[in-house]
Amino acid sequence: MAAEIKTVGVAGVGTMGAGIAIVAARAGFRTVVYDTRQDALDRARRQTEGFLAKSVERKKLTQPQVDRILGDLSGTTRIGELAACDIVIEAVFEDLKVKHALLGELNRICPPHALFASNTSTLSITEIAAGSGRDERVVGMHFCLPAQLMKLVEMSPGIRTSEDAFRAAWEFCRALGQVPVRTQDSPGFILNYFLVPFNNDAIRLVEAGVAAPADIDRAVKSGLGYPMGPLELLDLVGLDTHLLVAEALYASTREPRAAVPALVRRMIAAGHLGRKTGRGFYSYQGSAMFGG
């Protein structure tokens, strides 16, 4: 099962994809990251090197370990280089058509034994698998942000996912050093079922002028014991990503609290997406990867 997985592909090198790639390479897997944009690959490489350098400074890794990790990690703009992968984890936009197009192309180039995993946080695994050409070998693997620091992974089978495929993905997740939990193919799974409405409520407090972002985050961290406030987290995720996730959850559930506040669309229009653009609910210098 997991022992048969030697090479890991990650499709999409945004915040989530870059973090997942670190997790895989750090666990000793040869890891190939695919993205259509070379500049995105270059940025992710710089951020990864910075993250790993901080890990050495904090004595979580040694320099020889970092050298090995970076040696196992490569990037490409040619999807054909994922043909040798035993599992491909997609971390692209929360758009069913985009995911179908990607998985359909992967189905043509990857060997029959290869597993496909989706990092979706809200879309149906069954619906995603329906466009893959290999429904029985598609599994939901929702990593938590930031993936390189958070251990939890929500594992979800689709209706047609085989038990063998799910077991292999589960064992692979454990081999990564992550902590898997099994969920049904239900909108938002566990975390985003709670988190998306909660984050939208925090945005509405800002929108209504009830409190400043820093005060809301301070209250949540101090009063509820959260390591990161909701508005800090939204800046890390990206407001554009939050929009897609919330829209997908709202479309599936019609839960009013999942509907995106108007402020989010105004911030996106202004280019205030969070850390990746240098400004969201807070202002940032540089674009370093979170943690270390």
| All structural domains of the chain with their residue ranges | 2-182, 192-277
Backbone angles phi, psi at 139, to 5 degrees: -135, 145
264 vs 24, 36, 143, 232, 277, CA distance in Å?
33, 27, 24, 14, 15
Q: Walk along the chain (292 residues) and give the pLDDT tens digit of each residue.
A: 455 899 999 999 988 999 999 999 999 999 999 999 999 999 999 999 999 999 999 999 999 999 999 999 999 999 999 999 999 999 998 889 999 999 999 999 999 999 999 999 889 999 999 999 999 999 999 999 889 999 999 999 999 999 999 999 999 999 999 999 999 999 899 999 999 999 999 999 999 999 999 999 999 999 999 999 999 999 998 999 999 899 989 998 999 999 999 999 999 999 999 998 999 999 998 655 555 5
- Are 200 and 258 spatial neighbours (Cβ–Cβ below 8 Å)? yes
Residue 118 dihedral angles phi and psi, to the nearest 5° = -110, 130
Beta bridge partners of 142: 154
What dihedral do alpha carbons 258, 264, 269, 274 form, nearest 10°?
-110
192-277 and 2-182 share a CATH fold: no
CA distances from 93 to 11, 60, 134, 271, 282 (A): 11, 32, 21, 18, 24
Please tell me the predicted confidence (pLDDT) of residue 1: 46
pLDDT at residue 91, as a whole number: 96
pTM for the full predicted model: 0.89
pLDDT at 80: 97
261 backbone φψ class: left, alpha, beta (φ>0; ψ -120 to 50): beta
Bridge partner residues of 283 (DSSP) = 279
Cβ neighbours for 8, distance < 8 A, ≥ 6 positions apart: 24, 29, 30, 31, 32, 85, 86, 87, 88, 89
Q: Which residues are catalytic?
A: 121, 142, 154, 192
Q: What is the CA radius of gyration of the chain?
A: 19
CATH of span 192-277: 1.10.1040.10
* Topology adopted by domain 2-182: Rossmann fold (3.40.50)
10 Å CB burial of residue 157 (0-12, 13-18, 19+) is buried
Half-sphere exposure in the Cβ direction for 278 (13 Å, CA)? 2
| pLDDT value of position 93 | 87
Of 115, 92, 87, 113, nearest to 102 (Cα)? 92
